[in-house]
Amino acid sequence: MTVEETYKALDKAIDTHIKQTGEDGTFVTGWVLSVSISSPGFDNEGRDGYATYVSDGLPHHVQVGLLEVAKSERDTVALIGTMASYLSSMGYEANEENEEEE
């Protein structure tokens, strides 16, 4: 399989995955895939590497913006998870406040 064929297969797989997991009518407008990689050579040197792939025609500034927004979203999800865990450890239930108001 050529690099062009694997790229097309990757693009199709991303599109298919989004269509199957998203709401009806969801479609991909662009994508950036960042991958942590290693190899026997990397293992011998005690380091890892990274590979980044992007959808055709996605300008550099859009790639950077997409990565930045994705990072922000992940940070927010992590913060909410941490807060929920902290509140749960204090015995606070998310619905407690709503139940008292009713």
30-59 pLDDT tens trace: 999 999 988 887 667 767 788 899 999 999
Model confidence, pTM:
0.64
7-16, 18-27, 37-46, 86-95: least confident range:
37-46
Q: Nearest Cα to 55, choosing from 31, 85, 82, 81?
A: 31
Identify the H or E element spanning 39.
Answer: none
Please report where in the chains the tokens 């694997």 appear, as a residue: 6
**CA triple 17-60-8, angle to 5 deg:** 35
Average pLDDT, the chain: 87
Q: Nearest Cα to 35, choosing from 45, 19, 48, 16?
A: 48
CA dist 41 and 24 (Å) reads 45
Q: Which residue has the higher pLDDT, 41 or 25?
A: 25
